[in-house]
Amino acid sequence: MGASSKKVIVTGGGYRPQHSSRLAAAGLTPIWPSNNDEFGFHLRTASGYILGGEERLTADVIAQMPMLEVISFVGVGVGQFVDSKAAQARGIAVMNTPGLMTAAVVEHTLGLLVGIQRGLFQHNDSVKRDGPKPIETRLLADSTIGIVGL
């Protein structure tokens, strides 16, 4: 680690080797703590924190990070995972990844529409209760779909 390199704690899942490479190319030293002791060891010297899972960054943890400059939450709903008020009070930038889940939400919505139209959910419940039996379904091609609120 070079003298000018800033440490960034990275927690959560879904990261690939190129994420570490990108951080290093930006002059940062990524720290991937494997347990609470290792996480605690780096709290006082980390300049950044990237959260990417179900972990929470509370005011108490932020208070233990005197060098913290930036928090990045990988996902949506940053306010559920980061005490943004505590960070703002210290002048710490809080960022998230807007648009990250857009494609997944669209795909999920389309899947639900197909499932509802074809009676998949009702059929699934029926099969679990009574065993397999034929069901009547409608094709999407026989339907008109509108988007409300776009």
Report d(CA 150, CA 34) in Å as an integer: 43
What per-residue string of b and e applies to 121-133 under the rule 16 or more CB within 10 Å gives b? eebeeeeeeeeee
Query: What was the pLDDT predicted at 101?
Result: 78
Of 18, 17, 92, 100, the closest CA to residue 61 belongs to 92
Q: What is the pLDDT of residues 89-130, one digit of tens each?
A: 999 999 988 787 788 888 898 889 888 888 888 888 888 888
Average the pLDDT over 36-46 and give the result: 93
Of 59, 53, 45, 63, the closest CA to residue 9 belongs to 45
- Comparing 15 with 59, the larger pLDDT belongs to 59
For residue 40, the surrounding DSSP H or E stretch is: helix 36-43
What token pair was written down for 13? 């899942």
Q: What is the pLDDT of residues 119-143, one digit of tens each?
A: 888 888 888 888 887 777 777 777 7
